[in-house]
Every structure is written in structure tokens, then in C-alpha cells.
Amino acid sequence: MSRSTHARAILGDELYAKLSSAKTLVVGAGGIGCELLKNLVLSGFSEITLLDLDTIDLSNLNRQFLFRKKDVKQSKALVAAATAQPFNPSVKIHPIHGNIKEPQFDVGWFKQFDIVMNALDNLDARRHVNKMCIAAGIPLIESGTAGYLGQVQPLMHHTLQTPSETECFECVAKPVPKSFPVCTIRSTPSTALHCIVWAKSYLLPQLFGEEEDEGELDKAVAAGENASEIATLKEEAQAFKSVRALLRTFTPDTTDRAASAVFAKIYDQDIKRLLAMSDMWTYRKPPLPLDRSTILDGSFVDSRKDVPTSGDNDGEKSRAPVGDKTAGAGLKDQKALSLKETVELFDDSLRRLAARITTEDVISFDKDDDDTLDFVTAGANLRAYAYGIEQKTRWEVK
């Protein structure tokens, strides 16, 4: 009995022949994408292109079963393809670590496929794929999840000039999501809102919220998992733990050291780690690591040439515009800060929060709390600067 016997019996020879010769694009290698890829490989699809921009996070492992702890921080597309390949060695799987919205994935590129299958958690990207499939005149299988609910929607497109057999993805209005994909927030922000969400929902809680439990990393080492990968994760977690400890023993010296350590980790070391993943930046502008000391002493140089720059950092606008140009109005919340002023606001707000954390167990964001609002504003704008994104005034952030 051959591998395809059961599929042929269910589908019939004619339909199985179409299936086995189809060139298939799968967009997304997360919770849905992993299961979808496994099923396609085992069902007889012979050529599959798998595209995803994300990397594997420890929290993915409880539901994305093509990944293991040794794969953490690696490309989802590359690892999923390598793991699924042995299920059917005759299948050709072409993994791509990239963003489906990048310009090289144009209508002409889409036309090479017979069918596209979406496994995305990003509404904007789903809309983009839908438009490309309409323009290319190829069918799209849409899928998504919301909690314990799952949806699948076949969309039979022809061309822009001929009517489709079904409605398209955008024919029925979709609710705007209230959250963003982790990969976008943590690695590849593209809007000021992404940076604000990162500062509010990740950076502030990491320093002043509930401490994360890293005990399972020790269990992973004991179970024989990749020790070097686990060591890297422990180093990252420990960097924040040591800073948290410094912040909770408030003195001017410890707080200054904490501010320097936080800045170095998130705006220099973490960005350099992302830059080492060169595939991520093939078709998008890479972020710029920031150096706190040179920004503060005025010697920081932004070497990028495709964005506006300023000769100094002590009062003029920096390389990216800062929100609405209302600094002249004299309103504090609407003042556009320079890069140096933003670093100073970051340091000052962190000191104020450090003084409070000695008597408060947890500090949560409140838009009417000046300390947390200043910290989120400064943290978000520094990240925006690093990624070449328009920065926002305190009033706009609020």
C-alpha cells in the first residue's frame, strides 16, 4: 500500500491528481500554520511554499507542535519546513522568512501558485493577501482563530474583470482587533502605535509589574534540551531580573545604573540581536542601535542617509519627525522632544517610578499617572526612533 492510497480512495484519481500537482502557498507558520503544513504534507500536496516573518518564542511550544525548545529564536518558516519534511520526503517545501507585504511578493509572484492558504493572526496582512489573490485571480482559503473558536472560509476568486464565485474576505466588515501579533510588537514594529503598545504592555510590566516565572527553563535543561539556547533565554531573563532588583533598592546610584542597564539592553543589545537575523532585513529598513552616553553628550551620529537628520541632539528635531508640530504652542504635552530630551525623560521617569516601587508592589499603567505616561512616552519614542518611525508627543500617546 502506497502513501497515497487512502487519499486516492477518498478523493478519486482526478481530484487527487490536481491536488498532488498544485503549487500551494501557505502564509503563516504559527498555531494554524503548523497543523496546516502537517496536513498538506500528509495529504499528498507535492509543492508547498511556506512564508512567515516570525521567530519561535518559548510560549509557542504548547500548541505549535513542529517546534521544540532547541528551536527558540529561530525562524518559524525554516524550522516548520525542516520538521515537516520527513513526514513525506517527496514533498518540496520552500520556506521563506519574510513579510508577505514586502514588495517582491507582488501580483506576479502570487500568480505562480494554484491556491493560497492563509494562516495569519494579523487582520491587515489577511486583507493584503485577499487583495493580491483577487488581483492574481487565484483561490484563497482563509482561516483564523478567536479563543477556542476557529473559522475557515473558501474564497473563489477569478480576476478583477470577471465576477468571483464567492464573496471576498473584505466583503463583510471585520472587527478591528484590540491586540497586535507578538512578533510585530517585539521584533518588527512599523507604526508608532506598535511602539506605544510595546512600552505600555511589555517594557513597563517587565520592570515594575509581576515578575515572570522562569522555572521551566531549569526543567528544560534537566530534560536534556539544548543547553546553549536555554542559557541564552536565562541571560535575557536575568538581565531584567538584575535591573528589577536594582530598581527596588532605590538610591541615586543604583537607579542611574539601572537606567543605563535597561537602555543598553533594549535599545542596543536586543536590537543588535535582531540585526544578526539578516533575513529579517532583506526587504525592510533595519533598526539602529542607540547609545545612551553619546546621545546625552551630543556626539551620537545617525549614519543612515535616507532619513532626515540633525546636526546635534540638544534641541532640534532628530531623524524622524515627532508627531504634530506644536512645540511652539508652549504646551508641555504637545512639545516635540529631541532625541536627547527623550532620553532624559526616560531616565527621569524611570527614577520616579523606582522611588515608588520601594513602597508599591506593582505599578500599572494609568494615562492619568504622570510617571507611567512619561515612561511609556519616552520608551515608545526611543523605540520609534530606532526603527525610523514617526514619534508622538505626550498628548498623542495619552
Task: Return the active site residues.
Answer: 183
Phi, psi of 376 (to 5 degrees): -65, -40
Q: In one letter, which amino acid is 186?
A: R
Of 128, 117, 122, 40, give the one whose Cα is nearest residue 81.
Answer: 40
The upper half-sphere exposure of residue 7, i.e. CA atoms within 13 Å in the direction of its Cβ, equals 17
What is the rounded CA–CA span in Å between residue 304 and residue 246?
35
* Residues 6 or more apart whose Cβ sits within 8 Å of residue 186: 198, 202
- Strand, coil or helix: 141: strand
- What lies within 8 Å, CB to CB, of 141 at 6+ separation is 115, 116, 117, 118, 152, 153, 154, 155
Residue whose C-alpha is closest to residue 122's, from 24, 30, 25: 30
What grid cell was written down for 372? 507611567
Per-position b or e across 125-135, b if 16+ CB within 10 A of its CB: bbebbbebbbb
CB atoms within 10 A of CB 83: 18
Q: What are phi and psi of 39, to 5 degrees?
A: -65, -40
